[in-house]
Amino acid sequence: MSHFTAIKTQIKDADALAKALADVGFKQVEVHETAQHLYGFQGDIRPQTAEVIVRRQYIGGASNDIGFQRQEDGTFVAIVSEYDRRQYSQAWINQVTQRYGYHALLATAPTEGFTVESEAVLADGTIQVVVGRWV
């Protein structure tokens, strides 16, 4: 039975998180209003719960569910098993966070009166988005 680790993030928007997870390869992402139990690699129900979940069958044969649990401050913590941390490490969380930032910006810019003028991926992988607002 794998031990689950909680990894703090600054992620707050579940929809932008689901889009970010799709960007890094997870097309099947569950988003729940109420936290649901995670499952271990043997199909056993774990005590850990999460509102955003990638189920183990979409991760790999011996994997556990990966979840993102909402905290009291509104941020999510990633819940990843010790076994899955080999592939879904801090570097992976950083990649998800970068894609999350992109989707959060695209969602909030119009509500703040901004339009996306251009976007580009730089040589180092940085995403550059230029927004503008006419006054």
Three-state SS string over the chain comes to CCCEEEEECCCCCHHHHHHHHHHCCCCCCEEEEEEEEEECCCCCEEEEEEEEEECHHHCCCCCCCEEEEECCCCCEEEEEECCHHHCCCHHHHHHHHHHHHHHHHHHHCHHHCCEEEEEEECCCCCEEEEEECCC
- Domain borders along the chain are 4-108
* pLDDT tens, residue by residue, 111-128: 888 888 888 888 887 788
pTM value is 0.86
| pLDDT-based confidence at residue 2 (cuts at 50, 70, 90) | low
